């Protein structure tokens, strides 16, 4: 006991004796464990070696935070590589400069302070600012570390410009977690008539917050009334900077640049968890990435695709645009003519992040009307808006030329874009309305007549013009037009080498699947409907009709079909990475599926499903969404497949009921499994299951957990109740994930799994929730869990068909 006590005392003593309050000429800081401590003990400066590195650096870190958090490094780009540490020291020179010396007093780093004082001391302030000052002068600093930030923005630190001295304070990320040298990911203020805070990734612009609109930044939702911090953006003649301060000094939050993820994190120290948790990360989604949609395009994260041209603009290259390559952006459609009545006006876009302001023009005192007039007078003006949104809006901001980096966002404001419109003249609006109504009516009648004529003509010649699909299904009777290319049997036979066994990818519920190569080299997957499968024909027909109409990058693409003699075949694009279940449930392959990839997959599936539910002209309920129905392309982009079980609902019919329950146990919503009621919300339920599976790498069914949970949903819910839901994450992800994002995802998953369909969010909300950081709704208990004795697990079940065929449905889906 006594020895322990003495040891403790000694330790305490050594700590005290090793901590200095100032560095002076007489007392330099040596690399022997001595540190310089701020007066209140918050921060500490000393020599350190990050991670496994052998290099020595001088840095500042939080003294009372057990996870070593280095917030500033003096010699980040000039490491001391010699490991004989006894010779390293930090010295303040006679004329008031701070230098770092190593063996033989070799200069490693210098603060380059130029002002001279007689009695210089170096002190670490309670804010974490290292300053050189005169011993008798407390408030005038000859040099301060806050002027030369590293990768961390501490409370009270300024990010931006001192225009008088030309000092530009910007953050640059560490190269890696154990190498503090400057990476290529940086963050700073971009000057201009309307300054903006910009992030760069290797010299190219990566993200901008948008200009400050008096309350917040145009492109970042950062509520003023948050409990953590307060912030200002100062734009004066001599200074332009951003700065935040803590609301409560005992709740610490800092901003850190992360080179590995190319994200700017705002993290908060949680003492109970002894960890930093991520409060906000930027950019948040692909719409945040600079200029995603090209000039004059705008990004809407819930859209599919996410990019749209502004009204009055058309894609510059429609071919590239349709191929989801939006970089060329949009150009004005022909109609706009500067100054010509009815050909020149403005369209209001609400909730927009303002475009790149580098070449915009501003006036603080103009009203919106004056702003509009100013814009109309100049033919190169393309848009205008208020400069400040407070109190109903004031000031004027005008853009010339192309508009870059627009997106729809909750923090956005009204932007008036110049396009060809008749809505320029307020006085004649009334009369115009009448004219418009009249002309609309006339043209509507005309269009209807025309459509009718065309329809009649089409009906007459239908058989000759279009491919017909004669169905053998007598109940359905009707004949369907299929706007898909048809392939003849000989082509398919050649492509698959006469359906050779080597080309067989798998056997599905309705027949085998083959890989084929067309004459032009294109690889395809061919689903061959077995002749005996009478039941499959209906599903096949369904799938062909649907596939012809559905086009989305997160849906598997159908290339064509083939109906000849007894053969019925569907031709798909070939997906080299097969299906998701083969990867996430494979303990070896899943290691390559990092968190970011999983998160992207989730987002993409959500978008694909949103398209099925809402954006396509048909309203489609998939009814069999599961991991084996998600195929992956070369870049691990997921595509939803198998619409064979999907059912078209009229756009007013969102719910249905069926006596034939198709789907897969473990993914089926309770109301569907029991009562046969299906709706878009039953797909949302399946999405929830899929989400948990992707996060955990475990199947919903066929699984027993230590905590006696019956399945994954139960397990996730139990962890959630205990507040330890991050334990659900696949163990192979280790610490590569973002806890905040993971927990949020799990919450979204559980929201999708709620028992009552009305409680579940729709896919629009899911997409928005996944990509934003808004508060999520309260959770209710998940839908009850279908427990069956049989281990039919993953197999699709169809109560009407013999299950022997369906047992193998999984291999079919893998193959495509």
Q: CB 248 → ligand NAG: shortest distance, Å?
A: 4
Beta carbon nearer to ligand NAG, 191 or 648: 191
196 binds ligand NAG (CB under 6 A): yes
Which of the 8 DSSP states describes residue 774? P
595 phi/psi in degrees, rounded to 5: -55, -45
Of the candidates 62, 174, 384, 416, which one interacts with ligand NAG according to CB under 6 A? Answer: 174
- Of the candidates 624, 683, 714, 730, the residue annotated as catalytic is 624
Range list of H helices, 651-772: 670-675, 680-696, 712-722, 739-752, 763-771
Of the candidates 14, 15, 81, 83, which one interacts with ligand NAG according to CB under 6 A? Answer: 83
Q: Which stretch binds ligand NAG (CB under 6 A): 82-90, 332-340, 722-730, 774-782?
A: 82-90
Of the candidates 18, 226, 333, 378, which one interacts with ligand NAG according to CB under 6 A? Answer: 378
Closest CA to 605 of 745, 738, 781: 745
Q: CB 109 → ligand NAG: shortest distance, Å?
A: 6
281 binds ligand NAG (CB under 6 A): no
Task: Judge contact between 426 and 399, C-beta under 8 A.
Answer: no
Cβ atoms within 10 Å, residue 489: 13
- What's the residue count for the chain? 816
Instruction: Describe the crossing of helices 712-722 and 680-696 by its angle, rounded to 10 degrees.
Output: 70
Cβ atoms within 10 Å, residue 51: 10
Instruction: Pick out residues in 666-725 that bind ligand NAG (CB under 6 A).
Output: none
Q: Which stretch binds ligand NAG (CB under 6 A): 29-37, 237-245, 355-363, 427-435?
A: 355-363
CA distances from 290 to 169, 200, 384, 474, 770 (A): 22, 10, 20, 55, 20
Which of the 8 DSSP states describes residue 618? S
Q: Which stretch binds ligand NAG (CB under 6 A): 103-111, 130-138, 429-437, 561-569?
A: 103-111
**Side-chain half-sphere CA neighbours of 245 within 13 A:** 5
Q: CB 300 → ligand NAG: shortest distance, Å?
A: 20
Residue 624 annotated to the active site: yes
659 binds ligand NAG (CB under 6 A): no
Cβ atoms within 10 Å, residue 717: 20
358 binds ligand NAG (CB under 6 A): yes
Q: Which stretch binds ligand NAG (CB under 6 A): 215-223, 354-362, 701-709, 803-811?
A: 354-362
261 binds ligand NAG (CB under 6 A): yes
Q: CB 580 → ligand NAG: shortest distance, Å?
A: 24
Of the candidates 31, 44, 190, 693, which one interacts with ligand NAG according to CB under 6 A? Answer: 190
Q: Which stretch binds ligand NAG (CB under 6 A): 110-118, 438-446, 501-509, 562-570?
A: 110-118
Q: CB 795 → ligand NAG: shortest distance, Å?
A: 38
Q: CB 382 → ligand NAG: shortest distance, Å?
A: 10
CA gap 544, 568 in Å, rounded: 10
Q: Identify the helix (H) or strand (E) that includes residue 383.
A: strand 381-385
Q: Identify the helix (H) or strand (E) that includes residue 571.
A: strand 567-573
> Cα 613 to the chain's mean position, in Å?
21
Q: Identify the helix (H) or strand (E) that includes residue 656.
A: strand 655-657
CA gap 13, 332 in Å, rounded: 74
Q: Mark residues 40-79: x for contact with ligand NAG by CB under 6 A, - for none.
A: --------------x-------------------------
Beta carbon nearer to ligand NAG, 230 or 781: 230
CA gap 769, 776 in Å, rounded: 7
Beta carbon nearer to ligand NAG, 136 or 248: 248
112 binds ligand NAG (CB under 6 A): yes
Q: CB 58 → ligand NAG: shortest distance, Å?
A: 12
3-state helix, strand, coil in the chain (%, to 5): 25, 30, 45
370 binds ligand NAG (CB under 6 A): yes
How far separated are the first and last CA of the chain, in Å rounded? 71
Instruction: Pick out residues in 200-259 that bind ligand NAG (CB under 6 A).
Output: 205, 208, 248, 250-251, 258-259
Three-class secondary structure of residue 760 per DSSP? coil
Which residues have CB under 8 Å from 369's CB, separation 6+?
A: none
Beta carbon nearer to ligand NAG, 359 or 799: 359
388 binds ligand NAG (CB under 6 A): no
Cβ atoms within 10 Å, residue 432: 14
145 binds ligand NAG (CB under 6 A): no
Beta carbon nearer to ligand NAG, 357 or 554: 357
Active-site residue set: 624
Residues that bind ligand NAG (CB under 6 A): 54, 83-84, 86-87, 103-104, 110-112, 173-174, 176-177, 190, 196, 198, 205, 208, 248, 250-251, 258-261, 356-358, 361, 363, 365-366, 370, 378, 380, 400, 404
């Amino acid at each position: 006991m006594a020895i322990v006590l003495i040891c403790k005392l000694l330790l305490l003593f050594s700590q005290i004796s090793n901590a200095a309050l100032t560095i002076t000429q007489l007392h330099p800081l040596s690399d022997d464990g001595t540190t310089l401590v701020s007066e209140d003990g918050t921060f500490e400066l000393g020599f350190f070696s990050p991670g496994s590195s052998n290099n020595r650096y001088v840095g500042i870190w939080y003294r009372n935070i057990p996870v070593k958090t280095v917030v500033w490094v003096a010699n980040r780009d000039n490491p001391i590589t010699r490991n004989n540490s006894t010779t390293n020291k930090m010295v303040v020179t006679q004329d008031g400069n701070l230098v770092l010396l190593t063996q033989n007093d070799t200069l490693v780093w210098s603060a380059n302070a130029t002002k001279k004082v007689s009695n210089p001391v170096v002190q670490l302030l309670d804010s974490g600012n290292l300053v050189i000052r005169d011993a008798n002068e407390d408030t005038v600093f000859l040099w301060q570390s806050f002027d030369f930030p590293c990768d961390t923005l501490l409370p009270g630190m300024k990010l931006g410009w001192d225009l008088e001295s030309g000092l530009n304070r910007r953050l640059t990320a560490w190269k890696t977690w154990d190498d503090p040298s400057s990476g290529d990911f940086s963050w700073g203020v971009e000057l201009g008539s309307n300054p903006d805070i910009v992030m760069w990734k290797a010299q190219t612009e990566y993200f901008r917050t948008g200009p400050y609109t008096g309350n917040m930044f145009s492109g970042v939702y950062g509520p003023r009334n948050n409990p953590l911090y307060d912030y200002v953006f100062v734009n004066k003649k001599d200074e332009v900077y951003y700065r935040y301060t803590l609301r409560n000094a005992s709740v610490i939050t800092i901003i850190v640049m992360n080179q590995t993820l190319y994200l700017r994190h705002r993290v908060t120290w949680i003492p109970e968890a002894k960890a930093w948790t991520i409060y906000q990360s930027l950019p948040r989604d692909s719409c945040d990435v600079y200029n995603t949609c090209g000039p004059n395009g705008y990004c809407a994260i819930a859209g599919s695709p996410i990019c749209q041209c502004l009204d009055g603009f058309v894609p510059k290259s429609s071919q590239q645009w349709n191929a989801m390559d939006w970089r060329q952006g949009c150009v004005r459609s022909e109609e706009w003519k500067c100054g010509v009545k009815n050909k020149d006006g403005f369209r209001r876009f609400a909730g927009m992040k303002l475009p790149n302001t580098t070449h915009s023009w501003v006036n603080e005192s103009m009203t919106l009307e004056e702003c509009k007039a100013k814009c109309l007078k100049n033919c190169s003006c393309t848009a205008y808006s208020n400069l400040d949104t407070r109190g109903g809006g004031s000031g004027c901001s005008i853009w010339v030329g192309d508009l870059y980096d627009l997106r729809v966002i909750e923090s956005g404001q009204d932007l008036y874009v110049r396009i060809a419109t008749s809505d320029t003249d307020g006085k004649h609006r009334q009369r115009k309305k009448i004219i418009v109504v009249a002309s609309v009516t006339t043209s509507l009648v005309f269009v209807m007549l025309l459509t009718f004529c065309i329809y009649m003509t089409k009906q007459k010649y239908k058989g000759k013009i279009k491919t017909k699909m004669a169905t053998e299904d007598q109940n359905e009777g009707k004949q369907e037009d299929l706007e898909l290319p048809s392939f003849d049997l000989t082509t398919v036979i050649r492509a698959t080498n006469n359906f050779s066994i080597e080309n067989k990818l798998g056997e599905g519920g309705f027949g085998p699947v083959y890989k084929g190569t067309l004459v032009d080299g294109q690889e395809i997957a061919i689903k061959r409907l077995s002749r005996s499968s009478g039941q499959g024909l209906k599903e096949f027909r369904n799938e062909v009709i649907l596939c012809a109409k559905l086009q989305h990058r997160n849906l598997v693409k159908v290339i064509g079909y083939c109906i000849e003699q007894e053969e019925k075949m569907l031709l798909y694009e070939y997906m080299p990475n097969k299906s998701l279940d083969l990867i996430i449930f494979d303990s070896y392959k899943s290691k390559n599926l990092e968190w970011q990839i999983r998160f992207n997959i989730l987002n993409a599936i959500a978008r694909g499903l949103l398209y099925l539910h809402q954006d396509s002209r048909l309203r489609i309920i998939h009814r069999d969404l599961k991991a084996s129905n998600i195929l992956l392309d070369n870049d691990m982009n997921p595509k939803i497949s198998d619409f064979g079980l999907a059912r078209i609902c009229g756009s007013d019919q969102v719910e249905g009921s069926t006596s034939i329950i198709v789907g897969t146990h473990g993914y089926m919503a309770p109301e569907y499994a029991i009562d046969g009621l299906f709706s878009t919300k039953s797909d949302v339920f399946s999405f929830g299951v899929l989400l948990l599976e992707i996060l955990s790498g475990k199947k919903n069914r066929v699984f027993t957990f230590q905590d006696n949970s019956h399945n994954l949903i139960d397990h996730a819910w139990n962890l959630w109740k205990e507040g330890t839901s991050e334990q659900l994450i696949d163990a192979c992800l280790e610490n590569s994930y973002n806890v905040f994002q993971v927990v949020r995802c799990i919450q979204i998953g559980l929201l999708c799994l709620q028992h009552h369909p009305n409680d579940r969010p729709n896919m629009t909300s899911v997409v928005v929730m996944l990509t934003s950081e808004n508060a999520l709704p309260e959770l209710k208990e998940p839908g009850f869990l279908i427990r069956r004795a049989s281990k039919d697990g993953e197999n699709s079940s169809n109560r009407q068909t013999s299950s022997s065929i369906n047992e193998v449905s999984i291999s079919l889906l893998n193959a495509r």
